[in-house]
Chains A and B, each alone.
Chain A
């Protein structure tokens, strides 16, 4: 890739050093802890699924039974129950849903438990590897058919069957990525609902069955359109790792997964989030899922010009947290957004500088670029122009994943025609200037180059400050997105558990070894 901004390599290296120094102490805490949802995720990987008559999912039933014993890991008791009852996972799940208590079954022979665990790990690993092989084969079969950047569209009807129709229409119109938005407030549920769902507000429940239904629908679209369609959902909120587990099992291709988003924007406790994000990202990494980080959200509460450096700093931290979870750079869809006030003189130049800077600093990452939302007014005609400029920047700086801007942003959830017009806009701009990026250079000492240097300098200074006070203190002080989050507040803290000396989670050990995280 052409390096056009003459960014200081020493400063970029310094920022990465600081990110390591900031993230390492957090990871020490993470290693020593587990959480309710990490345990439930491990159970799901082992095959726990289904729900009781009241709709309480089997993984929750098991973990609820084990209150006070979770320091040993829930898996031990679930696998023990498999061994002792001689049931298949399906049989055991049905019994648990019917009231069986795994905590009341005396622990049996350790060797038998370990042998059974190894079987379950193998079944999981084979399924996920089959999923990855399928994706990779389709990407080879339809090589060169996706747009670059990949065009990303959202569906959010609340009803998975209606979502399917809209997703297939989006695929037919040219989308490369279809994201199903979750229903409002699912991020605050401490369980994942079970089965197909048709009632959601502003989105559709993320359930394993809904994942399966949408995957099947998009697989039909893949062969019909002759183009791989990436399915996306959210691995965030109080069930981050469980949803990552479901995504791995049902072959999702991308998941929204940010190391700090839940803390800042959903008021989830920071200790809990840091523990949950690690396990979720290990699962994502093993499944070959591209994560999308949420830096765009900073700019909805803070000013995009003044606080541009917080976006870059957060990208460095998200990158570091992802490396710490064994994720390769090619799966890191680091986020940013086109959110400057359109009335600013030369605002476009600053947007171009920011996007090109991110491209040069994270050369392998499929950067996730988000469209204007904050300054979309309801004037749809102006909105089309704003989106065209956004499309221009994205193409000119070779972004990876391009969320299409809707002309009706700030008015309603998109009509089918809004998506179609957005795709036409992007395809026109991106085709019309396909090779512009390799034709342009930036003027040394000019507005664009200076702006990029300034933002990098500010990001390094900001990271220096965070490193001094520590990440958790920094979040308490409101250094990110102007939002203050006390470390002992927020949702989900009571679901955090210190691992005991006998903590048993061979899925975690397996993932660490597969991802090269074992020392």
Chain B
């Protein structure tokens, strides 16, 4: 199936955009905005609003149509979890029945990142958006080490509590420092011969499963992920591992 963005008619290809140009507001700026969109391949580009923001900068809201399409059937998605995501109670039931012991999960916001909002959303008792965090799961022993935890300290701690899984959170990053930090974590694990010992998961607003797997993680969770997704992945992977033996 071929698809295009939907405005008010199937296949009209209507898109809204907003952006800033480093030029003063005026007819020349508006024309520059329109030409820019045509260069992007849009048809019928229309600047519907512009205003001056600061000396030498102007803001544009625009609509345009595109003939570019996507073949919906040819898409492969790379999410860490499949269609089935366990609720908290289901997770705990599966752990009791299939693993018969508590699952130990250690998490931290690593490197210089001081923003615990991501790891807290997944781990804190309260959770996020009506999805309880891992601390609330009776069958999971969750250790949230908080912010600015050095990579080697996180590994030491995971060894100490004999963790099944390690969660690495990276929220506020600039100039791709998160990629450097995430890579270093995997390298440290490998250097200490511990990579296979843990299920290693990355999370953060700019992290997807694809990126995380490329960097050597078992999975990655980005926007819209809750404790349910993370728990489901870990439990399924632990069951797989158990069956391998």
A444 to chain B, nearest CB (A): 33
Secondary structure at the A interface, as helix, strand, loop or mixed, is: loop
Q: From the candidates A172, A265, A413, A483, name the one contacting B54 in the complex (CB within 8 A).
A: A172
Say if the beta carbon of A435 comes within 8 Å of chain B: no
Q: Are A188 and B53 in contact (CB under 8 A)?
A: no
Q: From the candidates A188, A374, A375, A417, name the one contacting B18 in the complex (CB within 8 A).
A: A417
A484 to chain B, nearest CB (A): 10
Residues of A within 8 A of B116 (CB): 300-301
Say if the beta carbon of A341 comes within 8 Å of chain B: yes
Q: Are A188 and B148 in contact (CB under 8 A)?
A: yes
The interface on chain A, measured as residues whose beta carbon lies within 8 A of the other chain's beta carbons, has a size of 36
Say if the beta carbon of B205 comes within 8 Å of chain A: yes
Q: Are B172 and A202 in contact (CB under 8 A)?
A: yes
Say if the beta carbon of B59 comes within 8 Å of chain A: yes
Q: Which of B54, B113, B147 has the most CB of A within 10 A?
A: B54
Q: Which residue of B lies closest to A203 (CB)?
A: B174
Chain A proximity mask over B16-50: 1 for CB below 8 Å, otherwise 0:
00111000000000000000000000000000000
Say if the beta carbon of A378 comes within 8 Å of chain B: yes
Q: Are B174 and A158 in contact (CB under 8 A)?
A: yes
Q: Are A413 and B120 in contact (CB under 8 A)?
A: no
Q: Are B114 and A303 in contact (CB under 8 A)?
A: no
Residues of B within 8 A of A341 (CB): 129
The interface on chain B, measured as residues whose beta carbon lies within 8 A of the other chain's beta carbons, has a size of 29
Secondary structure at the B interface, as helix, strand, loop or mixed, is: loop
| Alpha-carbon distance between A266 and B149 when the two chains are bound, in angstroms | 11
Q: From the candidates B126, B147, B174, name the one contacting A303 in the complex (CB within 8 A).
A: B126
| Alpha-carbon distance between A482 and B123 when the two chains are bound, in angstroms | 13
| Alpha-carbon distance between A415 and B146 when the two chains are bound, in angstroms | 28
Q: Are B175 and A415 in contact (CB under 8 A)?
A: no
Residues of B within 8 A of A416 (CB): 20, 53-54, 57
| Alpha-carbon distance between A168 and B54 when the two chains are bound, in angstroms | 8
Q: Are B54 and A184 in contact (CB under 8 A)?
A: no
- Name the interface residues of A166-225: CB closer than 8 Å to any CB of B: 168-170, 172-173, 184-185, 187-188, 201-202
Q: Are B54 and A202 in contact (CB under 8 A)?
A: no
Say if the beta carbon of B237 comes within 8 Å of chain A: no
Q: What are 13 A-B pairs at a CB distance below 8 A?
A: A168-B54, A172-B55, A184-B113, A184-B114, A185-B112, A201-B175, A202-B172, A266-B148, A375-B129, A415-B20, A417-B53, A420-B54, A482-B124
A residues sitting closer than 8 Å to B (CB atoms) are 158, 168-170, 172-173, 184-185, 187-188, 201-202, 265-267, 300-303, 341, 343, 373-375, 377-378, 410-411, 413, 415-417, 420-421, 482-483
